[in-house]
Structure 1
Amino acid sequence: MKRWMLGSLSLLLMFAVWGCNKNESANSGGKKTISMWVHVSDDNEEGKVYKKRVDAFNKKYASENVEAKIEFIPRSGNGGGYEDKVNAALTTNTLPDVITLDGPNTAAYAKSGVIAPLDEYVKDQDDLLPSIKQQGTYQDKLYAIGVSESSVGIYYNKKMLKDAGIDLKTLPTVKDPWTWKEFLALCKKLKNKYDKPAIDMQLQSKDEILTYALLPFVWSAGGDILSENGKKTDGVFNKKPTADAMTFIQTMLKEGYTTRTPVKQAFETEKYPMKMSGVWTITDLKTNFSNVDYGVMPYPVSPKTKKLVSPSGSWQFAMTQASENKEWAARLVDWMTNKDSNIELSRSIAALPVRYSSEKVLTKEFSDEMNVFMQQLKETGHARPVTPAYPQITRAFQQTIDDISFYDQNQDIQKVLDTRVKEMQSAIDKAN
């Protein structure tokens, strides 16, 4: 389940609170119709689960004369499609009752009056994992509930590592992670053995993968991208911890341990011995590359702090401010993210649980690799910043990675940070 790409919210941020706008819900003949848009297609596994759960909702509440209708609006390769339709609906006041949105966009949607608080309607919030509540909360109000959790780790080909003389029993664990220096040594050994990059870090991407997967290196070094109050990045992001993290990434490139131009599906076709990717890759490997014997190790950590930090967060369901049936819209949001929905989705697409109740069921079923992700998430998960300026901040972070990746141009890391932080700070000042 690829969740990297972040659609443009530039139009979204131009709109003020809309109030009770006209939407696609209807009350014809006394029957309430609750409309919902989702960002996936109806023929992929995630979409099939959503359709099944909507059907179950309609069956359960048939006597209440309520019907939920789901519309599938797949995202395009650059993150468009779905977000384009949401932005267009803002201009015509035709948003549905319920929408899906990526976790870090909560603040932007809430501040712009696109989504409404759920606290009045959703009462079982204590069952939600802290990371899910954190990403869905803005100014102390819960606006969205995650449909699943996710994380990123280092996939490795067991045979390729063994053939390179690596004892798999010595590999890092969540409890005892390797430092960047130790990870570089592993990469050197693998590169020398196979005369190829040791790992695909997906640096060729131009989307949310770069922020989601690489910002944890900054956190591990003791740095951050925003101040605690969310109003400052200048003097926060462009400090030494960030420079240390960027130096590690740049070193991976300089030494040829990773590349900006990897072979397509290099790990899956056993050309590279490692890949940095999310939990959803487990489903892809099981479905399409079942011959690969692999394991998963946690993030390497800063040698200065020895602190393991991993990403968290994923897509969510939220009720729009435009909904004229907020009680039922909120009930649908709660239904699509409840224990049964969460368990069914996880079993279908290897998603991590969002609730304690579903976690108790799923951890007994998880493979060793899934449990590595779950342990890492629970013990070290860190949400991306919740700020209305997130679209601009993540874009500047992605450009930072792109800038430092051109090491042959002798890019000075501190100069890059000082340049990009000005863009971030400007966006924060405007948003606040």
Structure 2
Amino acid sequence: MSLPWGDRVLSVWWGCAMRKHNRRAGTHRTRRVVLAGVLSAAVVVAGCGGGGDDGERSEKRGDTTCDGRLEGTTDITVWFHAGPSGELDTLRRQAKDFNAAQEDVRVELITLPEERPYDDLVVSAAASGELPDLLDFDGPNLYNYAWSGKLKPIDSCVPEALKADLLPSIRKQGTYEGRLWGVGTFDSGLGLYVRPSVLKKAGIRVPSGPDDAWTATELTGILRKLRKEGYGKPLDLRLNYTLSGQEWNTYGFAPAVWSAGGDLIDPGDLRTAEGFLNGPEAVRAMTTLQKWVKEGLVDPNKDDKAFTRGRSPISWVGHWTYPEFSKAFPDDVKIVPLPDFGRGTVTGMGSWQWGVTAGAVDGDAVWRFLAHLLKPREVLRMSRANGAIPATDSAVELSPRFAEGGAERLFIEQLKSGVARPRSQTPAYPAVSGAFSRAFAEIMLDRAPVKAALDKAVRRIDKDLADHQGYPSAGP
């Protein structure tokens, strides 16, 4: 299963045979392109299926990606980020079922090798004009891809009924400059996993929801109390994920900065990080996190088993660990909100999204397949494969874990109530995340002075902004 922020280390010696299909009325023509490197076998999946034009299309068009017409048979290519996994197996079956159900669109699923980072493959293919028709990408990269012309807006493709069925977090992450550019079939959830039996035995209250989340100060006291109860390092922050430059650092811990009242970049004009990422609120939040490490309250989790082996009864992590944690402690795992650092609890959101590329052969053909993936049954199939949060209300209602009273219902409440926030919605996001992630690693692993590390991150971000003239809305 892939993590929600994307496998930065995903791919093999690259080289994949891909087909780029150019549609002509009533027929299709195939252009074969061999990308640089060792040729890898592309997986051609006969699977395209039933359309998704039920309901009126968005009236807020402003784009011509879809006009509601298909002529003849159109072949489309699809890239997906995951190597061998339950996700990939599920997508293969979905594509096969789709192709078998109709004859208007044929999907060719291209499996990429697994040693070169997926984002690098996307950038290289964009530079050479060889992106597929339908691209899977890590959600926060949407803003850069849209700004740089890699994607087409899709308001003209998405029926209003379907748009209304999407979780608000999915719509928000897919929107840039007031237009919809991408849509996911699943979202992510982030919180604290706790062992209620351990907390109750120690006389520690268990939060019931976002309105009564622990404060950061309260959590510090809880960790100290648990240490006295025999848990030497009671908190798991998934520091085993915290390599310099890894997206976990931003996905997992930007919420602490937001909760304190800080930000990674000026949320108003998105032109500087000065005074936001290195302001007193952000410094205070990161100092608290570092203090937990300095006090020895955080398990380094080198074996990835701090929670399941019982060393840490509190784990700051996402939805993907629920199956493992609940198996280790049946009926003794509860998900509670992240701590409140001063301005209320805030959590992360966002995962992989689909977008129609600028060079797509036919927007309606691409949307026909994407609409198939967004049917409730298909959304649920993928959610069961990767454990992620279903992207539509109709699919959530079919999933016991996320429906009212379900074990992971908190994730839905957070995504729908505004407690969850998207990562910075700017074309500069790759630079913003890279700089914050490096600073986080320095602060937490190297115990660098907090303010100095954040100042350095601000300089990196502001240099990128200056290099790109502030990312003007007109594009590069």
TM-score normalized with structure 1 length: 0.86
Give the corresponding residue for 2:247. Answer: 208
Give the corresponding residue for 2:398. Answer: 361
C-alpha contact 1:75 1:83 (8 A) present in aligned 2: no
* Structure ranking higher on relative contact order (CA contacts 8 Å, 6+ apart): 1
Change (3 A) 1:292 1:194: farther
Give the counterpart letter for 2:223 in structure 1: C
Q: How does 1:179-190 map to 2 (within 5 A)?
A: 179-190=215-226
Task: Classify the secondary structure of the residue corresponding to 1:86.
Answer: helix
Q: Give, in whole Å, the separation in 1 of the partners of 2:331 and 2:393.
A: 32
Give the corresponding residue for 1:312. Answer: 349
Q: How does 1:76-91 map to 2 (within 5 A)?
A: 76=115, 80-91=116-127
Say which of 375, 379, 394 aligns to 1:342: 379
Give the corresponding residue for 2:47. Answer: none
Say which of 111, 114, 126 aligns to 2:164: 126
C-alpha contact 2:428 2:464 (8 A) present in aligned 1: yes
Q: How does 1:396-415 map to 2 (within 5 A)?
A: 396-405=435-444, 411-415=448-452
C-alpha contact 1:121 1:331 (8 A) present in aligned 2: no
Q: Give, in whole Å, the separation in 1 of the partners of 2:297 and 2:224.
A: 7
Task: Classify the secondary structure of the residue corresponding to 2:369.
Answer: helix
Say which of 390, 411, 420 aligns to 2:429: 390
Q: Give, in whole Å, the separation in 2 of the partners of 1:313 and 1:419.
A: 26
Deviations 1:288-346 (A, max 9, x none): 646683221111102x33x1111111100111111122221122233223433222222
Give the counterpart letter for 2:93 in structure 1: K
Q: Give, in whole Å, the separation in 1 of the partners of 2:224 and 2:420.
A: 28
C-alpha contact 2:168 2:416 (8 A) present in aligned 1: no
CA-CA distance at 1:158 after TM superposition: 3.8
Give the counterpart letter for 1:136 in structure 2: G
Give the corresponding residue for 1:232. Answer: 272
Change (3 A) 1:292 1:363: closer
Aligned residue-pair number: 406
C-alpha contact 1:39 1:75 (8 A) present in aligned 2: no
**Percentage identity across paired residues of the two chains:** 27
Say which of 99, 107, 131 aligns to 1:58: 99
CA-CA distance at 1:160 after TM superposition: 3.9
Give the counterpart letter for 2:213 in structure 1: P
Higher helix fraction: Structure 1 or Structure 2?
Answer: 1
1:4 equivalent to 2:5? Answer yes
Give the counterpart letter for 2:235 in structure 1: I
Larger CA deviation: 227-236 vs 258-267:
258-267
Q: Give, in whole Å, the separation in 1 of the partners of 2:222 and 2:114.
A: 37
Q: Give, in whole Å, the separation in 1 of the partners of 2:445 and 2:364.
A: 52
C-alpha contact 1:100 1:315 (8 A) present in aligned 2: yes
What 5-or-longer segments of structure 1 have no aligned partner?
A: 9-21
Q: How does 1:84-123 map to 2 (within 5 A)?
A: 84-123=120-159
CA RMSD of aligned residues (A): 2.6
Deviations 1:85-125 (A, max 9, x none): 32332343222111100111001111222111111222232
TM-score normalized with structure 2 length: 0.78
1:153 equivalent to 2:149? Answer no
1:36 equivalent to 2:92? Answer no
Q: Give, in whole Å, the separation in 2 of the partners of 1:348 and 1:248.
A: 36
Give the corresponding residue for 1:416. Answer: 453
Deviations 1:381-421 (A, max 9, x none): 1100111111111011011112222565xx43222222210
Change (3 A) 1:90 1:6: same
Task: Classify the secondary structure of the residue corresponding to 1:369.
Answer: coil
Change (3 A) 1:331 1:203: same
Q: Give, in whole Å, the separation in 2 of the partners of 1:193 and 1:407.
A: 28
Q: Give, in whole Å, the separation in 2 of the partners of 1:323 and 1:93.
A: 11
Change (3 A) 1:282 1:94: same
CA-CA distance at 1:162 after TM superposition: 4.7
Give the corresponding residue for 2:110. Answer: 71
